[in-house]
Structure formats: structure tokens, C-alpha cells
Amino acid sequence: MLADELRFYFPSLRTDEPLARHTTWGIGGPADYYLELKNQNELIQLILWALAHGLPLTPLGQGSNVLVGDKGIRGVTFRLRGEFERWRFDGDVVHAGAGVLLPTLSRAAAERGLTGVEPFCGIPGTVGGALQTNAGTPEGDIGSRVRSATVVDSKGGVRVLQPGDMSFSYRRSSLAGVTVISVDLQLRAGPKNDILAAVDRQLKRRAQRQPLGTRNCGSVFKNPPGDHAARLIEAAGLKGLRVGGAQVSLKHANFIENVDRATAANVRDLMDTVRRTVRDRFGVGLELEVWTVGE
Ligand SMILES: Cc1cc2nc3c(=O)[nH]c(=O)nc-3n(C[C@H](O)[C@H](O)[C@H](O)COP(=O)(O)OP(=O)(O)OC[C@H]3O[C@@H](n4cnc5c(N)ncnc54)[C@H](O)[C@@H]3O)c2cc1C
């Protein structure tokens, strides 16, 4: 059996792992196989094993930007832990593993008197997920801070990418198909107290505007050019609209909350209604910011 073979290499293997446990929405069916990897060797071993057996691989970070389908994800879903959760500063550059959480990294940089990542202090994802999705705020996105990124390709080859090898645009990167394992971010020295104050300001602003403490996935739709998805959704009268256990947030119209055991199908239906209504009312097509994965 494949599971026995995989368990031989990775004793911590979990089968039929409910991915709802691993997403901020608390939604998602089972992963056939679920692993938490501790270092680069384990990752390469997994990639070669999956390649030999023709199984798909899906990296998952904090699960804060994904809608995992109710039937889950086939093949192996994995998360980068252990050595991937470390970071170190080298002058004004921070070398961060893909598993490091952005709020942790932003706070550590601020404490060191380094500016550049404090705009990301309220983004509850990992460095790897952030690079793949080019996470950011109006103050800038992570792609613009990257000096280099180390990735592993689908054949297990390790490559160090320079800025010229990657491209980033609004919530998009050219990194599809690779696993990000670490990144070097260029920061700048600055007054520590000002940077720490900026962190606090960001967090306060988020607490005022976003339904923190609920099960959500951040902004569901990208902002269309020159406008805000939240403004359009609210103007269309959709705040509070509910399908099953999924509801358009009453606090921030571009958030969908899992208020009562929502399924991925509930969220999909709600997203479809929101898109259709906004298109019919304002002629604007909303594009998804969250990634849909699995079946
Ligand atoms: C309350 C809240 C507020 C948010 N605010 C913001 C915001 O201001 N700005 C913003 O941009 N986003 C925001 N988000 C969305 C989300 O936090 C970010 O997109 C985050 O960077 C996603 O990281 P993650 O680790 O959760 O990725 P996941 O959701 O786990 O994964 C996202 C995608 O990246 C892939 N992936 C994950 N890890 C890797 C890796 N190591 N290598 C390659 N691919 C990988 C996954 O397969 C998936 O396709 C918010 C979310 C929440 C819940």
C-alpha cells in the first residue's frame, strides 16, 4: 500500500486528514495524505517519491488564502515546519524560511529597528504562501522586498531565483509549480520606536475594519482598478447575505465568514451570487483573491 510505503519514510504521515483543521476558514475536505516536513532533505525526498508514484503535491501554509473543496485534495498535502520556521538577520537583509509567519517576522524586524515588512504584520500567513500570492497592503507587497528566493521545482531541483527570474503583480507571482523554501528580503534601518508604532497602527486599523476573531480568509475578491471590492459589495446591498453557514461579513463586505459549519459549496455559491449581483448592478467583474484548491 502507498500509505505504508510513505509512512516508512515519514512516520508522522496522516491519511484522510480533514483540511478544515488547517485553514483559517475552517473549511476543507480530507487530504489523502498529509505531512509536516522538517527540512529540505525531507521535502526533496517527498517530491522524488511522489514523482515516482505519479501523485500530485500541494503545499499549504497557514491556509489563510485558500478555499479547499469539500472533497479535499488528492495526493499529498504538506506544510513546511521545523527548519523552515527559522529566520536570521544579516545586516539589513532577513533570510526567512517559507514556514515563518508574517506577523512574527514583522515584529522581529521592528524590534531590530528594520523597516520594510511592518506593513505585513497583520497578514496571518506564512512567507511561502505570501510569496506565492504576492501578499501585501496598500503600503507595498512582499514581491517588492525580495532579493532572492530559494525554491524546489517539481523534479526536486533546488534553484535560487534572483529578482530578474521572478515577476510580481497585484496578488500574483510567477512562482506557480514550485515550492518556495526560503526568501531573502531587503529591509532598511530605521528608528525602532517609529517602526514599532507603525506595527501597532496597522494592527489597530485592522481590528477596527476587519472581523478578526471570526473564521474567514481575508479579502475574497481583488480590488478592481480604481475601486474597492468591499465598497461595491456593500453598495449592492449584500452585507449579511447568507448561504448555509457562510455569510458576507457585516463588518467588512469583502470578507466571507464561516458562521456555522459552512461548506466550500456554501462559500462558492455565495461568491457566485456576489459576483453576479455586482456585475449586474455596476458592470464590474470581480476577480477572486482567494485560491481554490482541491475538489
Ligand atoms: C484576517 C485576514 C487578513 C488578511 N489580510 C491580507 C492582506 O492584507 N493582504 C494580503 O495579501 N493577504 C491577506 N490575507 C490573506 C493571506 O493571509 C495571505 O495571502 C497569506 O500570505 C497567505 O499565506 P498562507 O501561508 O496562509 O498561504 P495558504 O493560504 O496556505 O496558500 C496560498 C497559496 O500558496 C501556496 N503555497 C503555500 N505555501 C507555499 C510554498 N511554500 N511554496 C509555494 N506555494 C505555497 C498554496 O498551495 C496556495 O495555493 C488575509 C487573510 C486573513 C485571514
Cα(275)–Cα(42) distance, rounded to whole angstroms? 42
* Overall pTM surpassing 0.95 (yes/no): yes
How do residues 61-73 score in pLDDT, each as one tens digit? 999 999 999 999 9
Determine which one of 219, 249, 257, 275 is catalytic. Answer: 219
3-state secondary structure of 249: coil
77 lines ligand 1 (CB under 6 A): no
Q: How many helices (H) and strands (E) does the chain have?
A: 7, 20
CATH topology of domain 2-82: 3.30.43
180 lines ligand 1 (CB under 6 A): yes
Determine which one of 171, 215, 257, 275 is catalytic. Answer: 171
Cα(118)–Cα(33) distance, rounded to whole angstroms? 35
Q: Is the pLDDT of residue 45 over 90?
A: yes
Any catalytic annotation for residue 289? yes
Any catalytic annotation for residue 111? no
174 lines ligand 1 (CB under 6 A): no
Judging by DSSP bridges, how do beta strands 179-186 and 93-97 pair with one another?
Answer: antiparallel
Report CA-CA distances (Å) from 3 to 8, 114, 145, 173, 179.
9, 46, 40, 33, 23
Q: Residue with the nearest Cα to atom 27 of ligand 1?
A: 129
Determine which one of 36, 118, 257, 289 is catalytic. Answer: 289
CATH topology of domain 229-288: 3.90.78
Structural domain boundaries of the chain? 2-82, 86-209, 229-288
Any catalytic annotation for residue 171? yes
pLDDT band at 1 (very low <50, low <70, confident <90, very high): confident
| 123, 171, 254, best to mutate for ligand 1 pocket (most atoms within 8 Å of CB) | 123
How do residues 88-103 score in pLDDT, each as one tens digit? 999 999 999 999 999 9
| 133, 210, 288, best to mutate for ligand 1 pocket (most atoms within 8 Å of CB) | 133
Please give the distance, rounded to the nearest whole angstrom, from the Cα atom of residue 8 to the centre of ligand 1: 31
Report CA-CA distances (Å) from 116 to 27, 82, 145, 148, 189.
33, 25, 7, 15, 9
Q: Residue with the nearest Cα to atom 10 of ligand 1?
A: 135
| CATH code given to domain 86-209 | 3.30.465.10
Q: Residue with the nearest Cα to atom 15 of ligand 1?
A: 65
DSSP string, 175-203: -TTSEEEEEEEE-EE--HHHHHHHHHHHH
Please give the distance, rounded to the nearest whole angstrom, from the Cα atom of residue 52 to the centre of ligand 1: 29
How do residues 250-277 score in pLDDT, each as one tens digit? 999 999 999 999 999 999 999 999 999 9
Of 5, 36, 40, nearest in space to 156 by CA: 40
Give mean pLDDT, residues 211-218. Answer: 97
